[in-house]
Amino acid sequence: MAQKRGYDEFMQSMKSLLEFGKHSDFKITCGDKTWDVHKAIVCSQSDFLDAATRFGGKETTEGVIDLSNDDPDVVGCMIQFMYEVDYQLPSDSDPGPWWIRVDWKKYGNSLHPNMLIPGRSKRAWDMASWTISSKHMATLAEKHPSLKDRFQFKVIKLDNNFNSVAIMRSVNELQAQWKKDTPDSYMPPINHRDAIIHANVYAIADKYGLLGLKQMAAFKFEESLKLLPAGEEFFEAITVAFTTTPDADTTLRNIIAKHIYEDKMIYGLYEELDESMKTTPGLSYHVWKYEWSMMDG
């Protein structure tokens, strides 16, 4: 108990150092953002920053380094990690739920054992549900109190019981309304760009040599894909992962290959995935390699 309290107090003091810049002896700038940091903390974790402060130009003479070639929000995640051994996105403080989706591996097996739902229909339902969830979640929760029993990891999953069928009918009605509404009235769930950000954090961690941040970003990236449908943001995250890290670094590539393999089992080879596999260098190979490993054993 005392040990945990001591750890919490230490982490709070580290957070305070970054927040208020007390005793700062170095600045990191990116775009219109500036962080007052401490060389003992940031340079001890990054050989790049260490070399810049000792052998650079204004990095040495003025005590400032400009990282304007990087994204300010991603740089902010990197710096937060250096002080807190973690980084947070806005979605982390949002309790959810964000999305109602169907567990297609279970749905229909007992209610309609002979029902065959085409993969394109499954994906269309999941994508439409993603679009309407943030606007109509409160309405659905009021109409179906049992929804809260299905809330897990910020997603509500529907399976093969009769309550799920009733909820799906309600979602279908809202989807019909969505098609008549103006698109701007539907804001995407708060986590819609999380996977993209985590992929960029992974890339910046590789660039500046922060192994611990790479490992954390990879974990967060994989978790974020579980909360993201196979839509525009998903394919943007694929592009980031395959174009911002060296070909030899397969960590994110393998995570994506596994995710696509599992999605193909549900949705099949839909048009957007087919196009991405044609145009993203190396994607087809990694998906094929993962599929082969599953067949081999």
Q: 62 vs 110, which has greater pLDDT?
A: 62
Percentage of residues in the chain with pLDDT exceeding 70?
90
Strand partners for 101: 157
Non-local (6+) Cβ contacts of 190 within 8 A are: 90, 91, 94, 98, 134
Long-range contacts of 54-63 (CB under 8 A, 24+ apart): 63/25, 63/26, 63/27
- Report pLDDT for 250: 96
278-288 tens-digit pLDDT: 999 999 999 99
Q: Which two tokens mark 117?
A: 């739902």
> Between 59 and 65, where is the model more confident?
65
Q: Is 125 a residue whose pLDDT tops 90?
A: no
The 8-class DSSP code of residue 148 comes to G
Q: How many CB atoms lie within 10 A of CB 111?
A: 14
pLDDT of residue 66: 94
Q: At 191, is the pLDDT very low, low, confident or very high (cuts 50, 70, 90)?
A: very high
Query: Tell me, what's the pLDDT at 144?
Result: 79
Task: Quick: pLDDT tens for 97-117.
Answer: 888 888 887 775 444 544 578
- Backbone conformation region of residue 21, classed left if phi is above 0, alpha if psi is from -120 to 50, else beta: left
Give 26's strand partners.
37
pLDDT of residue 149 exceeding 50: yes
Res. 162: pLDDT tops 80 = no
Q: Give the integer Cα–Cα distance in Å for 257 and 293.
A: 11
Mean pLDDT, all residues of the chain: 87
Residue 15 structure tokens: 């957070």
Judge contact between 50 and 60, C-beta under 8 A: no
Higher pLDDT, 137 or 239: 239
